Structure 1
Amino acid sequence: MTEAIYLEVSEKTEAAKKAGRRVSVSGMLKFLGVSRSGYLAWLHHVPSDTEKRRKAVKAKIQDIYDDSKAPS
């Protein structure tokens, strides 16, 4: 759940930067009830080898599923 909030904050921050607006990340985090230190830790997180493998397996499964549903 928290990761979804962090992701949303990151997306909104990037969109605001592209639009040339300034955004208070601290304000957003406070409003959402999330700690700034937790957000920063998530932002700079480096995925472990296990996380990378799980993501690769999940992508492969999704590809196989998508291929099985494609019209012949």
Structure 2
Amino acid sequence: MTEAIYLEVSEKTEAAKKAGRRVSVSGMLKFLGVSRSGYLAWLHHVPSDTEKRRKAVKAKIQDVYDDSKAPS
């Protein structure tokens, strides 16, 4: 789903560039159905210690999994 949204936004941005128009942040947020306050909260989000730790553990698990699937 995230990839589909990314592609749609990329196409919209590219079409605007070809037409010589600029794409506004507020216009793109409206297109995506995202509030400006929600966007700004996401933009300035600082990960908590728990988020950082979970991300590190997830990366370690992925590494172990990838190593177990590698041909010997």
TM over 0.5: yes
Task: Tell me the CA shift for residue 15 of structure 1.
Answer: 13
Distance 2:22 2:8 in 1: 16
Which structure 1 residue ranges, 5 or more long, are not aligned?
Answer: none
Unpaired runs of 5+ residues, structure 2, are none
Q: TM-score, normalised by structure 2?
A: 0.70
1:34 offset after TM fit, Å? Answer: 0.8
Which runs of at least 4 in structure 1 moved beyond 2 Å after TM superposition?
A: 1-23
Residues 62 and 30 of structure 1: CA distance in aligned 2, closer, same or farther (over 3 Å)? same
The size of the alignment, in residue pairs, is 72
Give TM-score scaled by structure 1 length: 0.70
Q: Which is worse superposed, 48-57 or 25-34?
A: 25-34
Alpha-carbon distance, 1:23 to partner: 2.5
Greater relative CO, 1 or 2 (CA 8 Å, sep 6+): 1
Cα deviation, residue 17, structure 1: 10
Task: Mark the structure with the bigger radius of gyration.
Answer: 2
* Matching residue of 1:32: 32
Distance 1:19 1:56 in 2: 44
Q: Percent identity?
A: 99
With over 3 angstroms needed to count, the CA separation of the structure-2 counterparts of 1:48 and 1:61, relative to structure 1, is: same
Give the drift of 1:25. Answer: 1.1
